Amino acid sequence: MNEVGAYTRLAGVYDEIVVDPCYSLWADFLDAMWRLDAQGVRTVLDVCCGTGLMAAELIKRGYSVVGADASAAMLARARSLLGDDVQLIEAILPELGTTAMFDAATSNFDGLNYLTPDDFRLSIQSVAGRIRPGGWFVFDLHTDAMMTFTIDNAVVQGESDGNEFVILSDVDPLERTCQTTIKVVHSREGEPFTETHMQYFHSDAEVEGALATAGFVDVHKVDEYTDDPVDTTTLRATWIARLSR
Ligand SMILES: C[S@@+](CC[C@H](N)C(=O)[O-])C[C@H]1O[C@@H](n2cnc3c(N)ncnc32)[C@H](O)[C@@H]1O
């Protein structure tokens, strides 16, 4: 089957096959938190914005959002969702491709799990450089429970909106990596294709160390964009951090 680069052909079917319809709830969580900031949160940098699903929800709630992502194909989808007025930047982390300052940054649906530990650390520093003092960085990452879940569910098959897919995950628990092969065996949009994605399970110590080094404080994490604490069943942890003043 036609092997293509990560997030090239997948962009065309991403919203249909990859994403849970969760962005409205996630945006409500961010909005409720940011509304309590006495300085006000108006400008948001969406890091690894993908097809713009979160940006769209934040814009609906009155935020001014800039999206950055490495994939031209994902950004093209974001452009058609968000229209011409939203700034979208093609940049490979740790580059962000902007010198603007923001009240907050966010990164959702495991975008930061695509970074090697070194690039993760450097990217946290890059984001810190673009947030005002006291501003926010809220992002999600896979947990160790997700690593176990993925090992136990190494093959996932499905059909959505005329696309048939198989997702094969190969986790190396010692290296804390996951190589995922996404085969779209019948594509509504054209020829079948395969993409291979590499992700990294960042340990809590790595995340906490990277945030502290970059100047973030008040760091805590919750269960997937809720007020619930992280426990052994949490698959996606939401990290909340503020830049020191
Ligand atoms: C799982 S998708 C998440 C997209 C979006 N945040 C969402 O919630 O749907 C991961 C995104 O991370 C982007 N990405 C992966 N590695 C990247 C890198 N090194 N720099 C910038 N973006 C990257 C991909 O292009 C893809 O759009």
**Distance, CA 112 to ligand 1 centroid (Å)?**
7
Domain 146-199 has CATH 3.40.50: no
86: DSSP letter? S
Across the range 16-24, mean pLDDT stands at 85
163-172: long-range contacts at Cβ-Cβ below 8 A with a sequence spacing of 24 or more? 163/13, 163/16, 163/17, 163/187, 163/188, 163/189, 165/13, 165/17, 171/147
Across the range 6-15, mean pLDDT stands at 93
**Distance, CA 7 to ligand 1 centroid (Å)?**
8
At residue 16, the pLDDT reads 85
Report the CATH number of the 2-142+202-243 domain.
Answer: 3.40.50.150
Q: pLDDT per residue over 66-79, tens digit each?
A: 999 999 999 999 99
Element (H, E) at 48: none
**Distance, CA 80 to ligand 1 centroid (Å)?**
17
**Structural domain boundaries of the chain?**
2-142+202-243, 146-199
Measured CA to CA in angstroms, residue 199 lies from 5, 170, 181, 213, 230 at distances of 14, 10, 11, 23, 21
Pocket probe mutation, ligand 1, options 7, 20, 48, 199, max atoms within 8 Å of Cβ: 48
Evaluate: CB of 63 within 6 angstroms of ligand 1: no
Phi then psi for 171, rounded to 5 degrees? -95, 135
At residue 161, the pLDDT reads 85
What share of the chain has pLDDT > 70, as a percent?
A: 100
**Distance, CA 54 to ligand 1 centroid (Å)?**
12
Q: pLDDT per residue over 47-72, tens digit each?
A: 999 999 999 999 999 999 999 999 99
In this model, does residue 1 exceed pLDDT 70?
A: no
Evaluate: CB of 73 within 6 angstroms of ligand 1: no
Q: pLDDT per residue over 150-186, tens digit each?
A: 999 999 999 988 889 999 999 999 999 999 999 999 9
Binning pLDDT at 50, 70 and 90, where does residue 200 land? very high
**Distance, CA 38 to ligand 1 centroid (Å)?**
31
